[in-house]
Amino acid sequence: MPTDIRDVVVDEAAYDRRRLRQWLAGRARADGVARRDVLRLLAASGLATGLPAVLATTARASAGTASATGTASASAAGIVKPLPEEWFTPRGTNAETNFVSLASTGHHTPVSHFFVRNHTSTPHVDATAWTLKVWGSGLAGDGRQFTLDDLKRLPAVTRSCVVECAGNGRSFFTSQQGQSVSGTAWTLGAIGSAGWRGARLADVLRLAGLRRDAVDVLPRGLDADYVTAGGTNLGRVRRPLPIAKALDDVILAYEMNGEPLPPDHGAPVRLIVPSWVGIASIKWVGDIEVSDEPLFSPWNTDFYRLFGDAYPPEGSSPLSRQTIKSAFELPWNASLPAHANHRLTGRSWSGAGTIARVEISTDAGTTWRRAHLHDAPRRGDWVRWSTNWRPTTTGPTTVLARATDTTGRTQPQVTQHNTQGYLFDAVVRHPVTVV
C-alpha cells in the first residue's frame, strides 16, 4: 500500500487518468458503460492514440442513451417503511426527510425519519440465505463467500456518520439560482446520520485473499436492474471504489442505530463509505468484485461527475467527497411573532473536514453572528447548532446559515452550475415572515 492512503484517495483526477491509460491498454473493463462515454473520457484525457483498435476489442457499446436520472413516479413506490407526511416528502421512488422534523430527534436520525434513495425499489433479501461473494482478479485464489454470521464474527466497528445523496439541495439550483438541472428535486433532506455497526471492508478483503495489485472494488446491489427513463438497462446498481478508500474506513454495516439494518436501508448488509457521496454506500450488497484493472460503471461515468459550461466535455473527475452544507430545522416560510424569543436550530456538515464554525444571519445576509455548536465536530458527521433571535421588524425576510470547515472552506453565495445538480453548497436563503 502507498504510505499515505488519503493522498491517493483525494487525487481522483490522477487516478482517473491512470484508469483510462489502462483501459486503452486493454487492461480495464467498462461493462455496461456506453461506448460514447468512454470515448468522451478518452478524447478529453489526451490519451486517445490507437483508439479504434482498442474500441473494437474492449468497449461494449450500449444502445440508447442514459438519462441523467430516473423518472419520478407520483408516489414513493417500493419503500417498505411508513412515510408519514409530517416526516417525509415522497419524490418518485425516494422519500426526503422534512428537515424541520429533525428538530425533535437527537444527533442520530431514527430509522423512522431517515431519507430513502432507491433507484428501483426495496428488495426483500432473506438474511439467513444471504451470502456476500467476494471475487475477482485482484484476489489470490478463487475468492470467498461470507454469511451474515461470518461477518458478525469479525471485529465489529461502529462509525457515526451521515449518508447524503450527491444531489441533496439540487432544487436550489433552480429556486435560488434560476438554473435548470435534472434529477430528483431534493431540498436539504436527502441526508441522515446514524451509528452504523459492521465489519471492516479491509478485513473482509484480506480474508478473501487481497493482492497488492488490486486497484478497484465494485460492490453491487441485489435490487433490480436500473432502467433509465429512455429504456436503457444499466444493470445492477454498482459503483467502483478505489482500493485506497476501501481499505481506509469503509464498513459492511449490518446494524443501524443499534438495530439490525432495516429493509429500506440495505438489509441485511450495506456499505458505509464515510464522507463520500451516498451512491458509494451500496445497499443490499450481494457481491464485491476486486479487480487488478480499473473498473467503470454508469455510476462513475455518466452519473456522479460534474457536467456543464464550467467543466470539460467529459465531465469532472468522478465525485468522491461530499461538499459543505447547512440547514435550519424550521418550516419554509415560517411565521415568527415579533418581540418574542425564538431559538433557531439546525445542522451543518462537510465531507472535506469537520465543521469549524457556523454563522447565522437573520437579516438576509447583512450581519452575521456565531451559532452555538452542540456536537463535538467529527469527520463525516454533522453538528447540531442553535442561535437565539428576537425579531423586532415585521414582514418577510430570510435567515441564513453559513458553515466553515477545518479545511478553511466556507459555503459560497453561489454554486457553480452543473447539469445534474450535484454538490450544491451555497448558503440557502430560508424565507420567514415576522408577524
Ligand X SMILES: Nc1nc2c(c(=O)[nH]1)N[C@H]1C(S)=C(S)[C@@H](COP(=O)(O)O)O[C@H]1N2
Binding residues for Mo ion, rule: CB under 5 A, are 117, 165, 278-279
Least distance CB 123 / ligand X (angstroms): 8
Retrieve residue 104's grid coordinates. Answer: 425533535
**Closer residue to ligand X in complex, CB, 404/419:** 419
**Closer residue to Mo ion in complex, CB, 197/283:** 283
Which of ligand X, Mo ion, none has residue 349 at its interface (CB below 5 to 8 Å by kind)? none
**Which residue, 15, 20, 9, 10, is CA-closest to 45?**
20
Least distance CB 390 / Mo ion (angstroms): 39
Retrieve residue 377's grid coordinates. Answer: 465536530
Retrieve residue 23's grid coordinates. Answer: 483501459
Omega before residue 268 within 30° of 0, cis: yes
Least distance CB 297 / Mo ion (angstroms): 14
Residues binding ligand X (CB under 6 A): 114-119, 163, 165, 221, 223, 237, 265, 278-279, 281-284
Which of Mo ion, ligand X, none has residue 430 at its interface (CB below 5 to 8 Å by kind)? none
Least distance CB 270 / ligand X (angstroms): 7
* Mode of pairing for the β-strands spanning 131-135 and 285-291: parallel
Which of ligand X, Mo ion, none has residue 284 at its interface (CB below 5 to 8 Å by kind)? ligand X
Alpha carbon of 270 to those of 110, 117, 156: distances in Å?
A: 17, 13, 14
Which of ligand X, Mo ion, none has residue 417 at its interface (CB below 5 to 8 Å by kind)? none
**Residue closest to Mo ion when measured from CB atoms:** 165
**Closer residue to Mo ion in complex, CB, 162/279:** 279
Element housing 343 (H / E) = strand 342-350
Site of grid cell 447548532: 385
Instruction: Give the count of beta carbons closer than 10 Å to the beta carbon of residue 1.
Output: 9
**Closer residue to ligand X in complex, CB, 23/172:** 172
**Closer residue to Mo ion in complex, CB, 215/273:** 273
Site of grid cell 448488509: 269
Rounded Cα–Cα distance for residues 249 and 306 (Å): 25
**Closer residue to ligand X in complex, CB, 41/279:** 279
Which of ligand X, Mo ion, none has residue 385 at its interface (CB below 5 to 8 Å by kind)? none
Least distance CB 277 / Mo ion (angstroms): 7
| Residue 400: partners with Cβ closer than 8 Å, 6 or more residues away | 360, 361, 364, 365, 427, 428, 429, 430
Retrieve residue 165's grid coordinates. Answer: 445523496
Least distance CB 302 / ligand X (angstroms): 14
Positive or negative, the Cα torsion across 122, 277, 306, 171?
Answer: positive
**Closer residue to ligand X in complex, CB, 350/397:** 350
**Closer residue to ligand X in complex, CB, 118/232:** 118
Which of ligand X, Mo ion, none has residue 295 at its interface (CB below 5 to 8 Å by kind)? none
Least distance CB 131 / ligand X (angstroms): 16
**Which residue, 222, 177, 192, 166, is CA-closest to 106?**
192
**Closer residue to ligand X in complex, CB, 119/402:** 119
Which of ligand X, Mo ion, none has residue 303 at its interface (CB below 5 to 8 Å by kind)? none
Rounded Cα–Cα distance for residues 269 and 264 (Å): 11
| Residue 234: partners with Cβ closer than 8 Å, 6 or more residues away | 32, 66, 225, 226, 227, 228, 298
Which of ligand X, Mo ion, none has residue 183 at its interface (CB below 5 to 8 Å by kind)? none
**Closer residue to Mo ion in complex, CB, 70/242:** 70
**Residue closest to ligand X when measured from CB atoms:** 221
Least distance CB 289 / ligand X (angstroms): 15
Which of ligand X, Mo ion, none has residue 237 at its interface (CB below 5 to 8 Å by kind)? ligand X
Least distance CB 300 / Mo ion (angstroms): 13
The answer to whether 322 and 351 have CB atoms below 8 angstroms apart is: yes
Which of ligand X, Mo ion, none has residue 163 at its interface (CB below 5 to 8 Å by kind)? ligand X
Look at the chain and count its residues.
435
Question: SS3 of 101, please?
Answer: helix
Least distance CB 261 / ligand X (angstroms): 9
The answer to whether 390 and 433 have CB atoms below 8 angstroms apart is: no
